[in-house]
Amino acid sequence: MSQRRDIENAVIRELSPLLRTRGRYLKAIEPYNGPLAPEADDHDLVRVLLGRAPAVLVSTGSGDYDRVNIRRRMAQLDIQVELLVLSGNLRSGESRNRGDGFDPDPGVYQIIEDVREHIFGIELGVRGVGWLVPAGERPVIRSPALGAWQLTYQVYTDAHHALPGANDPEYQRTRTGVSLVEDERANPIIEFDHERT
């Protein structure tokens, strides 16, 4: 399984209490691979939403490597988790941001607060993945039918590549022997195996 897919699935799981089917208001929380600053009529956005707003769409974005250790084939990868928060409140543009108290769609501002409450600083339960840290918010759509904001979170992950032969039993154990230079007949005086971890 892919680490990025696991991260997206974990964020969706953490936000699922906000779904309408669980007694709240979101019609959809799903993975997304369209533009993060789309037009209101963007084909990918329309295809995923199918009129299901309010919604939160989740994807992973760019990442930066840090603490690279070539010899051990390990690094830290700082991945951006991108969320597209959408409101379809039809009363007005202001209502798409602020809600209106009548429509079950509470508006982008409330959705952002609820998203933050569910994922700010949490560990996702994915091996090698740290805490979600908020990094930014910005409006991306203000149209007559849809309001959308892009939220960015960052998560530090372990990025590694197995050493050649790492899964080969022949390369899992190293035999070491200690010898005396003065007396060849006594050598080796001790031998031991070391398991690679």
Greatest Cα-to-Cα distance within the chain, rounded to the nearest angstrom: 94
Burial class (CB in 10 A: 0-12, 13-18, 19+), 45: buried
User: How many structural domains compose the chain?
Assistant: 2
Token pair for residue 36?
Answer: 């993060």
Please check whether residues 43 and 113 belong to one and the same domain: yes
What is the number of alpha carbons within 13 Å of residue 19 lying toward its C-beta?
12
Is the domain of 100 the same as that of 151? yes
| Co-location of 111 and 193 in the same domain | no
Verify that 15 and 109 share a domain, yes or no.
yes
Does residue 141 share a domain with residue 81? yes
Looking up residue 85, the CATH number of its domain turns out to be: 3.30.2000.10
Per residue in 29-87, pLDDT tens? Answer: 999 988 888 877 788 788 888 778 899 999 999 988 888 777 777 888 899 999 999 99
pLDDT digits (tens, 9 = 90+) for 97-143: 898 888 888 999 999 999 999 999 999 999 999 999 999 999 998 88
Let me know whether 11 and 47 are in one domain.
yes
Q: Say whether both 54 and 123 belong to one domain.
A: yes
CA gap 1, 3 in Å, rounded: 7
Do residues 171 and 153 both lie within one domain? no
pTM of the model: 0.77
Say yes or no: 86 and 169 in one domain. Answer: no
22 Ramachandran zone, left/alpha/beta (phi>0; psi -120 to 50): alpha
Helices 3-15 and 108-119 cross at an angle (nearest 10°) of 120
Kindly tell me if the per-residue pLDDT of 166 is higher than 60: no
Of residues 22 and 38, more confidently modeled? 22
Q: Domain check: are 101 and 72 in the same one?
A: yes
Please give the pLDDT value at position 143. Answer: 84
Domain enclosing residue 182, as ranges = 165-197
Is 91 in the same domain as 185? no
- The confidence band for 170, taking pLDDT boundaries of 50, 70 and 90, is low
